[in-house]
Structure 1
Amino acid sequence: MILKYSDNPFKQVFGIAFYNRKNIILFTLISIVAVFQYEFGEIFDFEPITLPVVPVTILGGALAIFLGFRNNSAYDRWWEARKVWGGIVNASRTFGVMICTFSSSYFSEEKVKDKHVLAWRKELITRHIGWLYALIMHLRKENNWDDLEKYLTKKEVEQIRKVHNKPTQLLHKQTERLRDAFEENMIEHFRHMELTNVIKEFYSLQGMAERIKGTIFPYYYNYFTGVFLWLFVTCLPFTLVSEMGWSAIPMSIAISFVFTILEKSGAVTEDPFEGRAADTPITTITRNIEIDLLEMIKSDTIPAPIEPKTGRFGVKYLD
């Protein structure tokens, strides 16, 4: 998630121009062609091409409608992704508190030792952290096992390597260990049901994230938005040249750039789990949950929060 661009305005402008250099070059070439053929057409006995304003204006209006719909829909996907991970934060903290306070040797009349209860708490908390990193891998289609291997046993790692949906199987393992704790009288019936309901909420939140990831934005909106955009960009300088002459070049570039940036922002925002600077910062959110849960079980190894990264041209963002 981008926090801010560089404090240096020159870096801001240069960075934006750099990342959009191909489009800017195309806009410039189209505008130069339009102006040259208009200004020098008579010299080469060539009838200059000019277009009326009204049709291009109507095309620009239609394009604005498509861009507005797409950007609104893309932002809804981005915001829903953020709400899903906000729900994971809240549910994870609730789960950690319940694990640490609901389990006790009291219900077994101290037949279960406190040491066993503490080990069980640590097991479920660390496996939950493993689930968070497994979910990131699942959504980003990555193959980074380092964080998982820190919180899962070798046997669990080998087991989930063989399955398609790794986070789902980890949640299933959590429910099995909750059942074991109930049968060993570490938790009583009501508390077992409450913990199971939290696992159910994790399943629901994971499903929401998978829906966002797996639902492709309607192809025809992407396709026709691109077609209308480049048709508008191509026609625009041929409309402006008769009124503005050489001034049509910078004006056409500026207007085309605005529409292109709107289209690009929608394309980037509609996929919020890809790990790019503009996406939902699920790695940073997960690290914050990891710290909270490890502090609950009084772990000796608590990682530091993830600091904002500085990208090219001074852009600050969270991963």
Structure 2
Amino acid sequence: MIVTTAPRAKQVLREIWMPLALLFLWDVIVTIVYFVLPFRAPSLPLTLFGSVLALFLGFRSNSAYQRWWEGRGLWGLMINASRNLARMARNYLPDGEAVDLKRTIVLRQVAYVNALRCQLRRQPADQEVLRFLSRGEADYALARTNIANGIVDGTGRRIEIARSKGWINPMQQHSMESVLVDIANAQGGMERLKNTPLPMQFRFVPTAFTHIFCVLLPIGLVETLGVATPLGSTIAGLMFLAVLAIGDDLVDPFANTVHDLPLNSMCRTIEIDLLQSIGDPAPEPATPDKAGVLW
């Protein structure tokens, strides 16, 4: 996620130079043709076309942003649920014979959020997952199709073991299981966003109509703008292409691009909070890279 407030000229130019050059070239061609072979084009159809297209693109961008913000909200719930689980494990389980189980539950949750991060980004489980699990636990989780869900299942079994040994009572077990339910529900919501793209109509139709509009735009403006058509038409067309690109950037909040949610940073936040809750040394918070992107 880009966190700098100032626009980055290099990044902007890298993303827009190709459509900008194509738009300008087409506008120059239309302008030259107009002065060699003058023609008239009705302006009203283009005005109506642009108005309808703007509404369509605005609705699409709002839908994409809603998906992005829902993903951020689900990760906020995940952060809170992770803290709650660690606090319950620390306070409910006795310090004597259950101290190892207390640490195991907390460390498994750190491994879980990193495993979920990798799954949402379609990446294999990395060292941030494996280093918080013992060899046997890692093998069991990696054997599951849904690695993150396998880790949560293992945590649930350990909570049941704690109840069977009398370390926690049934009410405390119920409280901890409720937190695991919240974690599973948040994961399910994230998987729904990841596995359910916008309908084809929301992707194909706006893209096709935006490009058609950019092709027709200089034809409708050249009679009014004259030699300034390449400049005015290119800027106007670029605005529509920019709105189209915004929807594409936000539609998948877990795609691991500069526009998506900073999952690395949020997993680091959980890791810091949970390790400190059991008295272990914790890493430093994640910071933006030199380009101003928080991953």
TM-score after normalising by structure 1: 0.90
* Conserved 8 A contact 1:28-1:253: yes
**For 2:285, which of 305, 308, 311 is the aligned residue?**
305
**For 1:202, which of 183, 205, 216 is the aligned residue?**
183
| 2:156 is aligned with 1:183 | no
| CA positional deviation for 1:149 | 1.3
| CA positional deviation for 1:49 | 4.2
Q: 1:123-272, aligned counterparts within 5 Å? A: 123-272=104-253
* Conserved 8 A contact 1:17-1:24: no
Aligned to 1:23: 19
* Conserved 8 A contact 1:50-1:241: no
| CA positional deviation for 1:202 | 0.6
Aligned to 2:36: 40
| CA positional deviation for 1:228 | 0.8
| CA pair 175-144 structure 1, distance change in 2 beyond 3 A | closer
* Conserved 8 A contact 2:116-2:148: yes
| CA positional deviation for 1:156 | 1.8
AA at the equivalent of 1:27: L
| CA positional deviation for 1:29 | 1.1
Cα distance in 1 for partners of 2:40, 2:88 equals: 72
SS at match of 1:104: coil
| CA positional deviation for 1:21 | 1.1
Cα distance in 2 for partners of 1:276, 1:49 equals: 45
| CA pair 172-234 structure 1, distance change in 2 beyond 3 A | same
| CA pair 125-211 structure 1, distance change in 2 beyond 3 A | same
What is the CA deviation profile of residues 192-243 of structure 1, one whole-angstrom value per residue up to 9, with x for unaligned ones? 1100111111111100111111111011121110111011100110111111
Aligned to 1:71: 61
| CA pair 200-15 structure 1, distance change in 2 beyond 3 A | closer
* Conserved 8 A contact 2:120-2:254: yes
List 4+ stretches of structure 1 deviating above 6 A.
Answer: none
* Conserved 8 A contact 1:51-1:235: no
How many residues were matched structurally? 295
Cα distance in 2 for partners of 1:83, 1:133 equals: 17
> Gaps (5+ residues) in structure 1?
42-47, 106-113
AA at the equivalent of 1:318: L
Cα distance in 1 for partners of 2:69, 2:228 equals: 40
Cα distance in 2 for partners of 1:125, 1:174 equals: 9
| CA positional deviation for 1:5 | 5.0
**For 1:292, which of 250, 273, 278 is the aligned residue?**
273
SS at match of 2:3: strand
* Conserved 8 A contact 1:59-1:232: yes
| CA positional deviation for 1:289 | 0.8
AA at the equivalent of 1:128: Q
> Gaps (5+ residues) in structure 2?
none
| CA positional deviation for 1:17 | 2.3
AA at the equivalent of 2:73: K
Cα distance in 1 for partners of 2:88, 2:20 equals: 56
**Overall identity of the aligned pairs, in %:** 27
SS at match of 1:317: coil
| CA pair 144-5 structure 1, distance change in 2 beyond 3 A | farther
SS at match of 2:70: helix
What is the CA deviation profile of residues 153-183 of structure 1, one whole-angstrom value per residue up to 9, with x for unaligned ones? 1112222222211111111111100000011
| CA positional deviation for 1:14 | 4.5
